[in-house]
Structure 1
Amino acid sequence: MGQHIVVLNTQKAAADLLDRRAAIYSDRPRNIVAGEILCGSLAIPLQTCGPLWGRMRKAIHEGLNKSYEVPQLNEAILLTSGLLAQPARWDQHIRRTTASLAMAITYDTPPILSEQDPGVKAIDGFITHMTRATHPGAHLVELFSWMIHIPSRFAKWKRDAEYWHENYSAIFVDRFNDVRKKPLKGIESPSLVGTWIKDADRYGLSELEGAWLAGMAYTGGSDTSAASMAWWMLAMVTYPDVQRRAQAELDAVVGRTRIPTFSDFQRLPYIRAMVKEMLRWRPMARLGFPHCSTEDDWYDGMFIPKGTMVIANVWHLNRDPTIYGADAAHFNPARFLDANGELAPCPPETKEEGHVTYGFGRRVCPGRHVANNSFFIEMAMVLWACNIEPGKDEHGNVIPIDVDKYVDGIHIRPAPFKANISPRFPEAVALLAGERELRVR
């Protein structure tokens, strides 16, 4: 009520304010139920700026500034094997993969082999509660902040949020302490929690703060990646020419006698462009996460008072026809390639990502480089081994898919659809099985 809101509809304006003036545009609007009660002001994506946010930001950026190629490759093998074994369950395989990888990176755990694993269920439960708590209009206290002083016994919304805070705090602390009990490993097997425990004095985080930071890395990394990979599957079904071009590149570079690995990265520009295009075409959060100004400011003749909510219209910024061309609504990785088929320079305000999906300034996604590598190896592995086609009904007719239909939440996902997945060549299944036996423990 009485909230000033500015929506940024050009990449230049977004970069001018949120990147170049990050010192005064990096705060978050207050979120009482989700941010302060359910998460106890410990969830870094929702935290307002302050000393704790600064310490958490330092810890997460430094922890993710490492290579996690071993678990990423292992999970790509498991994902592709699962898709070929049970193609009808492709979405569950993606969810298992992203949860398992997030667990490995955060807690140095072995692969999760089922989406029924308690870790996967914990992610689903937390995301469900966060989605409900952050839904616009869900709680009057977000409009009338004085309601936070109502005793819990008279406010079910408050009582429920407090209960789930205690529940998830216990889960996150237990997982954090599971790592503490292990002999700490060296850089050969890195994990976020292992790094934070080893350098606890450097980061100045309490056990509860570290546990919640790990929980946010775990749940956020899994949910965003699962949503993105589901959109990618939809693109493969909908744009078969794109799939065939990627497979031709894989055949030329990798061949059919070995699996793709990270050593192929530089020689697979089309796959790398596909990662950029997936994130541009279907950003997980269409309006990103709102920023909040901490000082009065002027921009382009407009006065922006302190406390203004500043929203980057990510969906529009990623589809600006003056930047991406008249076909910006379509999935076309070639837009990121030059005449020689190599990656071209990205639009100047996108930090060499090619899109603005990862956010801006001091709130930019700290795991973007890790995510890009995960997407690269998963896409390469799946397309090397699999053909992905539209699902068919009992009469053999292709089932139409509405590419614009989605399931809402913190991160949007495509509406459920069917896909047929089959081996591209007879040796694919055996090669994957051999690699799984050799690499995955």
Structure 2
Amino acid sequence: MFSVNDISPLTFAATAGILVVSYAYSSLAKGSRGNHPPGPIGLPFFGPRLSSTPWKDFAEWGKNYGDILYIKSYGKGIMVLNSHPAAVDLLDRRGSNYSDRQTFIMNEYLTRGLSFGMVNVGDMWRKMRRASHECLSKTGVTRYYHVQEREALIFTQNLLCDSSKWNQEVARTAASGMLTAVYDLPPRESINDPLVSKFNDFHEILISAVTPGLIEYSPWLQYLPSFLTPWKTKAQHRFLELSSFFGELMQDHGEQESSAFAPFLIREKDKLGLSDTESAWLAATVVAGFGSNNEALLWLFLALIAHPEKQQKCQEELDAIVGHSRMPTFEDRDNLPYIRATARELLRWKAISPLGTEHVSKEDDWYQGYFIPKGTMCLANLWLMNRNREVYGDDVEEFNPDRFIDSEGKLKPSISDTKDGTLCFNPGPSVNSAQHYNISLFCHFRSMCPARHLSNDIIFIFIARLLWAVKLSAVVDKTTGCPIIPDLTATIVDGVKTQVTLIPRVISDELLTSHMQTPASF
């Protein structure tokens, strides 16, 4: 969307030369690696080569260098924390020094610092966090239970009508639930709905805004004349377009007397201290998080197809606790430990953000005899932490909810320094220090996803209602007569090509009644 193609060849050539000279000077000035944590050096300036799965690279390097790695990539110092104790020590106990986010110049032009997930701790962050906490805290999201229950019902109904496009229906459900919770809109009928498409585009913009490019390595480029930097004009225009679109959504759907997020932001405008534009961007940023829900639910679908025995355990629990006369609700959650264990295992097994969100050290620091310079980017290797065999057993690569169930069939207590069985870090001294937050799927530390609790609810009710109503089976290969099991080691792009067979388990009045146009009724 915004790439090196937006920079003139002359500028590119000049930048390349300056980068080489700058790196040489920097290397001479700083001398050797000194007391930095160990790690591979790689090529000058570019650093060690990383694959498309850097979390696996970091895990492999850790076998030689230890739990704390330090590398230089494009001149930027990066520290990788491969162990839970190291991550807790630095991102939790020393959290005040690691609360900043990496600043991306492109993000500043595209969002003007209004994308909540990229806001550094400060006045704006506190205002946005306070606003999101009011409606999206663990207790606040209970007001959206009926929305998520309805979306899970509609998903099941649509799947029973046509299972060939199950992946599109998953995406529709993820987007529709967030749009309803934020703007009090009726369910979206298709993934091709114009509003869903708009937010899909916005999600891609947010990704491009924090994807390192030439401008991030050569900040001085932003001060060149516009004819040499057309990307600036494009980014500025896009910000104005998005602000106008988000503002119209707030005007059209924010004046309602409901408990949805956008109306709340308008009603409490003076109390929260957010401008109209800031509120509009906060609401939109929350909706854009549906992309993470979508990917998580896609992986869940594939796991259930590949592991019919786990699916059967879920259904046996649902039959025993809920029965066939009604659909499960959030009121059943405490009595459905295996469903909860399945959701917990999903977060462990396929973390949507394997390296969490990057943070930057505010000041120089020392840890275990190693020097961590100010401005070092810090990454927690959640993928590796979630595969700790001492904690989760030897079958860490397998999808196995039973690892979270004790001998009495109850959900096991959370392990030390985790929340609900998944890795977590304390948000730091300026926030309620008694709270911990799930980071396996969303984010971590202070800049965690504001809709994390809402997303957890979506995953739970999706599992419960889907498996209450249907049995999922792999399609049988007509040539071999064997089921076509999805490759759970492949990418999700390959996985969505999987076909599925649905066998109805229950036919109820709820499943036969359309709820597509039913008002949310907050």
Q: In the alignment, is residue 403 of structure 1 matched against residue 475 of structure 2?
A: no
Instruction: Pick closer, same or farther for the CA change 1:390–1:152 going to 2, 3 Å.
Output: farther
Q: In the alignment, is residue 381 of structure 1 matched against residue 461 of structure 2?
A: no
Which residue in 2 is equivalent to 1:345?
413
The letter of the residue matching 1:202 is K
Which residue in 2 is equivalent to 1:58?
130
SS in 2 for 1:158: helix
How far apart are 1:247 and its partner, in Å?
0.8
Tell whether the 8 Å contact from 2:117 to 2:449 is kept in structure 1 after alignment. no
Match of 2:180 among 89, 104, 108: 104
Which residue in 1 is equivalent to 2:426?
none
Instruction: Provide the C-alpha distance between the structure 2 equivalents of 1:155 and 1:105, rounded to a whole number of angstroms.
Output: 39
Instruction: Provide the C-alpha distance between the structure 1 equivalents of 2:233 and 2:395, rounded to a whole number of angstroms.
Output: 49
Tell whether the 8 Å contact from 1:237 to 1:419 is kept in structure 2 after alignment. no
How far apart are 1:437 and its partner, in Å?
8.5
How far apart are 1:158 and its partner, in Å?
2.4
Tell whether the 8 Å contact from 1:19 to 1:361 is kept in structure 2 after alignment. yes
More deviation, 43-52/278-287: 43-52
The letter of the residue matching 1:316 is L
Q: In the alignment, is residue 45 of structure 1 matched against residue 117 of structure 2?
A: yes
More deviation, 59-68/372-381: 59-68
Q: In the alignment, is residue 156 of structure 1 matched against residue 240 of structure 2?
A: no
Which residue in 2 is equivalent to 1:294?
362
Instruction: Provide the C-alpha distance between the structure 2 equivalents of 1:315 and 1:224, rounded to a whole number of angstroms.
Output: 16
Instruction: Provide the C-alpha distance between the structure 2 equivalents of 1:254 and 1:439, rounded to a whole number of angstroms.
Output: 24
Tell whether the 8 Å contact from 2:169 to 2:191 is kept in structure 1 after alignment. yes
Q: In the alignment, is residue 195 of structure 1 matched against residue 275 of structure 2?
A: no
Tell whether the 8 Å contact from 2:171 to 2:294 is kept in structure 1 after alignment. yes
Q: In the alignment, is residue 32 of structure 1 matched against residue 122 of structure 2?
A: no
How far apart are 1:69 and its partner, in Å?
0.4
Which residue in 1 is equivalent to 2:215?
141
How far apart are 1:346 and its partner, in Å?
1.5
1:110-125 paired onto structure 2 within 5 Å: 110-125=186-201
Structure 2 gap segments, 5+ residues each:
1-73, 424-438
Deviations 1:121-161 (CA, angstroms, capped at 9, x unpaired): 0121112333344334xx21010011111233322332322
Deviations 1:169-197 (CA, angstroms, capped at 9, x unpaired): 22211111123443x23xxxx11112221
Tell whether the 8 Å contact from 1:88 to 1:418 is kept in structure 2 after alignment. no
SS in 1 for 2:500: strand
Instruction: Provide the C-alpha distance between the structure 2 equivalents of 1:128 and 1:252, rounded to a whole number of angstroms.
Output: 43
The letter of the residue matching 2:165 is R
The letter of the residue matching 1:42 is L
Tell whether the 8 Å contact from 2:360 to 2:378 is kept in structure 1 after alignment. yes
Q: In the alignment, is residue 418 of structure 1 matched against residue 482 of structure 2?
A: no
Q: In the alignment, is residue 283 of structure 1 matched against residue 364 of structure 2?
A: no
- How many residue pairs get aligned? The number is 426
Pairwise CA RMSD:
2.0
How far apart are 1:416 and its partner, in Å?
2.4
Instruction: Provide the C-alpha distance between the structure 2 equivalents of 1:219 and 1:123, rounded to a whole number of angstroms.
Output: 6
Tell whether the 8 Å contact from 1:153 to 1:159 is kept in structure 2 after alignment. no
Structure showing greater radius of gyration is: 2
Identical residues among aligned pairs (%):
36
Q: In the alignment, is residue 246 of structure 1 matched against residue 314 of structure 2?
A: yes
More deviation, 389-398/41-50: 389-398
Instruction: Pick closer, same or farther for the CA change 1:431–1:193 going to 2, 3 Å.
Output: closer
Match of 1:214 among 283, 295, 305: 283
Instruction: Provide the C-alpha distance between the structure 1 equivalents of 2:93 and 2:263, rounded to a whole number of angstroms.
Output: 34
Tell whether the 8 Å contact from 1:107 to 1:179 is kept in structure 2 after alignment. yes
Instruction: Pick closer, same or farther for the CA change 1:352–1:181 going to 2, 3 Å.
Output: closer
Deviations 1:237-291 (CA, angstroms, capped at 9, x unpaired): 1111111111111111111121111121111100011111111100111111101
Deviations 1:341-364 (CA, angstroms, capped at 9, x unpaired): 111112212222424413332123
Instruction: Provide the C-alpha distance between the structure 1 equivalents of 2:330 and 2:392, rounded to a whole number of angstroms.
Output: 28
How far apart are 1:435 and its partner, in Å?
7.7
Q: Whose relative contact order is higher, 1 or 2, with alpha carbons under 8 Å and at least 6 apart?
A: 1
Normalising to structure 2: TM-score of the pair? 0.77
Tell whether the 8 Å contact from 2:79 to 2:377 is kept in structure 1 after alignment. yes
Instruction: Provide the C-alpha distance between the structure 1 equivalents of 2:190 and 2:335, rounded to a whole number of angstroms.
Output: 33
The letter of the residue matching 2:469 is A
Deviations 1:60-108 (CA, angstroms, capped at 9, x unpaired): 1222021110101110101111111110111111111111110111111
Deviations 1:204-248 (CA, angstroms, capped at 9, x unpaired): 11111111111100111x111001000101111111111111111
Instruction: Provide the C-alpha distance between the structure 2 equivalents of 1:19 and 1:360, rounded to a whole number of angstroms.
Output: 10
Instruction: Provide the C-alpha distance between the structure 2 equivalents of 1:438 and 1:134, rounded to a whole number of angstroms.
Output: 37
Instruction: Pick closer, same or farther for the CA change 1:414–1:37 going to 2, 3 Å.
Output: farther
SS in 1 for 2:246: helix
Instruction: Provide the C-alpha distance between the structure 1 equivalents of 2:368 and 2:272, rounded to a whole number of angstroms.
Output: 39
Match of 2:475 among 391, 395, 418: 391
The letter of the residue matching 2:205 is H
The letter of the residue matching 1:433 is L
Which residue in 1 is equivalent to 2:41?
none
Which residue in 2 is equivalent to 1:308?
376
Q: In the alignment, is residue 3 of structure 1 matched against residue 76 of structure 2?
A: yes
More deviation, 67-76/156-165: 156-165
Instruction: Pick closer, same or farther for the CA change 1:144–1:282 going to 2, 3 Å.
Output: same
More deviation, 194-203/160-169: 160-169
The letter of the residue matching 1:191 is A
Instruction: Provide the C-alpha distance between the structure 2 equivalents of 1:8 and 1:121, rounded to a whole number of angstroms.
Output: 37
Instruction: Provide the C-alpha distance between the structure 1 equivalents of 2:315 and 2:112, rounded to a whole number of angstroms.
Output: 47
Tell whether the 8 Å contact from 2:305 to 2:485 is kept in structure 1 after alignment. no
Instruction: Provide the C-alpha distance between the structure 2 equivalents of 1:321 and 1:391, rounded to a whole number of angstroms.
Output: 33
The letter of the residue matching 2:512 is A
The letter of the residue matching 2:372 is I
